[in-house]
Amino acid sequence: MSSFWSRILVAVVGLPVVLYVVWLGGGWLFGLAAVAATLALHELFWIARPLRPLVLAGYAGALLALLGAWLGGPVWMTGGFMTTLALAFLLKGISQTRQSVTVAVGATVLGAAWVGLGLAHVLLLRAIPPAKDGRLAIFAVLLAVFASDAVAYFVGRLIGRHRLAPTISPGKTWEGLAAGTVVAVLVPFFAFYNSDFLDVWRSLVLGGVIAVAAPLGDLFESAVKRDLDVKDSGRLLAGHGGMLDRLDSHLFAAVASYYAILALT
């Protein structure tokens, strides 16, 4: 099966399951986020193995950040994440590797922050009170990122001629970015059109934030992969690559959207 059709198949099968778990929220969403974080960190730490990350500290920090976001909100999330630094330093002290503390601990903290805090903000978005607004907010953000990414991919393949960042990600084009931006702005607009949560101009601002943050997340992962000399983080999701490849845009967009919503409401 070609990469094109495998991307479609994975999306058709996986997207409804993810959205249903997001609708349920609570422990179901925490469980899904924990599994996704574990898989994404496994991929990241594998491709970054020359840097000798302290993987147990990275897993612990990311999962504790998710647990904190679920049970206590942003403060507990931050506390959970901060354990990464202490655990990484302790594990480096008893490890036998010759990698420098700066590199090994830095790679570990990067993974826990990038994946753990990114997914923790998905939980924070879902927890926005009241429950109906939180559910609407997370659906709007996730669907905006997914739709803009899909449209950018297909438009780039069909009519893309001008490369966006040839040294980082040669496949991305300005035409795809423009199409994805339009979709990223329109999805929140329609999602909140008949809602009293965000009015028209605030929903457009949120769409603009997503339109900027999502491509940056994608490009950030591309830069990391190029730095580590790999094409994909894995093959778990067929044409989509690995779990990290599928989450990259969401990890930036969830954080940016959460604080944008706090500022707008």
Per-domain boundaries in the chain: 3-264
Distance CA 29, CA 190 (A): 24
pLDDT computed for residue 2 by the predictor: 55
Of 17 and 237, which is predicted with more confidence?
Answer: 17
Distances (CA, A) of 217 to 22, 50, 129, 249, 264: 21, 23, 27, 4, 22
User: Over 157-186, what HEC string results?
Assistant: HHHCCCEEECCCEEEEEHHHHHHHHHHHHH
Query: Computed from CA positions of residues 264, 124, 58, 114, in that sequence, does the dihedral angle turn out positive or negative?
Result: negative
- Mean pLDDT confidence for 35-59: 95
Q: Considering the entire predicted model, what is its pTM?
A: 0.92
Average pLDDT over residues 14-29: 91
Average pLDDT, the chain: 90
Q: What percent of the chain has pLDDT over 70?
A: 93
Alpha carbon distance 64, 159 (integer Å):
44
Task: Give 173's strand partners.
Answer: 163
